Structure 1
Amino acid sequence: MRALVVEHGDDGPVRFADVEEPRPAADEVLVDVRHIGLNLGELKYADQWPAGVIHGHDAAGVVVRAAADGSGPAEGARVVLGMAPYAWAERVAVSPAWLAVVPDAVALDDAAALGVAGITALRVLRTRSLLARRVLITGASGGVGHFAVQLASIAGAHVTAAVGGPDRAAGLRELGAGEVVTDLSTVDDRFDLVLDTIGGAHLARMWALLAEGGAIHLVGSASGESTTFEAGSLFAFGAPKTINTFGDVTSPVSGELADLLGLVAAGRLSAQVGLRGAWRDVDDAVRALFAREVHGKVVLDVS
């Protein structure tokens, strides 16, 4: 079968290869993959995986063989995979811990967009009550950002969306952002929670904007820059402020995927797919992601 595997060097980060068919364990289902969801992080840091290994974590498809031990969905079920290993292949053997059944009201290609981005946003925003709280989302036009803006708004937060320029601000107010900003130096609000995908010099500014007892959650470092804090800025009286790393890729995601799918089915959450295409055109999709030309997620049809 065909799969997208990790490729190191100038021809990477992925390439097509013929690989062996998966052999499901007793507690795994076999999924015929119809769509894959691309994330910038897994492509940007592909060199952290061995060359030649099947790459990718997000996909959607149909169960063609149920788990031998009776766990998981039945044959014929439409399912979405999130944070699953080896997902960018024509078929994948996967534990039910990394998938959820897709409701009839949700298109399978939309479901493929949820995975890493949706789960990341949901996990961060569930760290505290957001009702009537002020939340800052950086990189709001990206995959995680689009989900975070919507989910924070659903939870009752007042959302400020930060983007890199006016051309990336389109549609964010409609998703629930109260303000959209392109320059954090113009912001004077104090935020209870910050979901940051940028890092670098912006992180020091976010720290200055954090309210007493507030928390910054780092889910990416798109700037590629270091952060320098002014002398004394990490000392303050009052309830402690925190900066938190994020990288939980071991906890099962089936429940969170089901919650996200329920919101999509109810019309309260949009997948916000910025680029759709065929997986044969993956090189063009990767280029568009690295060039920051995509607002939202990339979903490719497997054929």
Structure 2
Amino acid sequence: MQALVHDPQAPAALRRVELPDPVPAPDQVLIDVHAVALNRLDLDYPDSVYGPGGVPGVDAAGTVVVPAADGSGPAVGSRVATFAIGGAFATQRAVPARDVGVLPGGVTFVGGAALPGAGVTALQALRRFGTLLGRRLLVTGAAGGVGRFAVQLGALAGAHVVAQVGAPERAAGLVELGAAEIVHDLDGLEPVHAVVDNVGGPMLAAAVSALAVDGLALAVGQAGGEPTTFDFEAERIRGGRRAVEVFTVGTFTDGVGPDIEALARLVAAGRLDPQIGWQGPWDRAAEAATALRERRVAGKAVLEVA
């Protein structure tokens, strides 16, 4: 099979090579990959997650060519989206059947590839809050992949969504996705009940300060690349109870296939937009990675595999 491997010396640290075809375990399906999505995990931590020569990528959509030998998972010919840490950037992928979701008609491979990492992160994060109906939800870094899913899913859940973006131009389309407010900083923000933070650093600290009593902030990402310092004395003075939890792709519950399918059904029904901000063939992977790093992509960057 053809694959993009992590090579620190190559453009965008990705090099195309020929590798042996994957051999699926009994609980895995083998798919022919048609589209893959880029994530911050692939760009920011490839040395520690994949290592030189490893195949990056967590999100891939394609067609099942070998079903799971244990009988689990979809049948041959099924159109699916998949999640796993590594192995996505290749023409074939073996992945546990429990992390495979069937795509309904009307959902393209490009749209399906955008769903697993960012979409399931947003979905499972919002579930952590319980009911959001009538409550104020702050999404920081709302212009990114997870952010745009969180804005949409929060609005669908009945939340009053406050979308934070780093620059005015990054706010494009967020009101249409369900944001009730757009902010750039959090000074003077009315208290919020829940926070999905994709930025980290001082932004996370400010978001915690904006929490109402018994509010919860989930630290999902660290796009800002800075450490976070909390003023616990100020929190004591404010009184009440507020919590912060780290919530990342690594904290997914086992078996995200049903969540992928739930998101795909919303896409098919026209209630959720995958927000593809960049799309092109995988020989332009370096271009896509650079655009994502430079925050020139609104939503997801997806590579078409051929």
> Is the deviation greater in 147-156 or in 256-265?
256-265
Partner residue in 2 for 1:297: 300
Q: Alignment partner of 1:97: what SS?
A: helix
Deviations 1:139-186 (A, max 9, x none): 10000000000000000000000001111011100000001111222x
CA contact (8 A) 2:111 2:276 kept: yes
Query: How much has 1:235 moved relative to structure 2?
Result: 1.8
CA contact (8 A) 1:13 1:44 kept: no
Normalising by structure 1, we get a TM-score of 0.95
2:162 is matched by which residue type in structure 1? Answer: T
Deviations 1:90-127 (A, max 9, x none): 00111111111100121221111111100110011001
- Structure 1 runs of 4+ aligned residues shifted over 4 Å read 9-12, 236-239
Change in CA separation of 1:264 and 1:231 when aligned onto 2, cut-off 3 Å? closer
> Is the deviation greater in 80-89 or in 134-143?
80-89
Alignment of 1:8-157 (within 5 A): 8=8, 11-48=11-48, 49-127=50-128, 128-157=130-159
CA contact (8 A) 1:279 1:300 kept: yes
1:32 is matched by which residue type in structure 2? Answer: D
Query: How much has 1:131 moved relative to structure 2?
Result: 0.5
Partner Cα distance (1:249, 1:156) in 2 = 24
Normalising by structure 2, we get a TM-score of 0.94
Partner residue in 2 for 1:280: 283
CA contact (8 A) 2:120 2:260 kept: yes
2:263 is matched by which residue type in structure 1? Answer: L
Identity of aligned residues (%): 45
Partner Cα distance (1:77, 1:45) in 2 = 32
Q: Alignment partner of 1:233: what SS?
A: helix
Q: Alignment partner of 2:217: what SS?
A: strand
Q: Aligned-residue CA RMSD in angstroms?
A: 1.5
Partner Cα distance (2:113, 2:162) in 1 = 27
2:47 is matched by which residue type in structure 1? Answer: D
Gaps of 5+ in 2: none
Alignment of 1:96-245 (within 5 A): 96-127=97-128, 128-185=130-187, 187-230=188-231, 232-235=233-236, 239-245=240-246
Deviations 1:34-88 (A, max 9, x none): 0001112321111112211111110100011112222111111000012453111
Partner Cα distance (2:12, 2:290) in 1 = 11
> Is the deviation greater in 11-20 or in 46-55?
11-20
Change in CA separation of 1:217 and 1:100 when aligned onto 2, cut-off 3 Å? same
Change in CA separation of 1:9 and 1:184 when aligned onto 2, cut-off 3 Å? farther
Q: How many residues of Structure 1 are paired with residues of Structure 2 in the alignment?
A: 302
Q: Does 1:265 align with 2:268?
A: yes
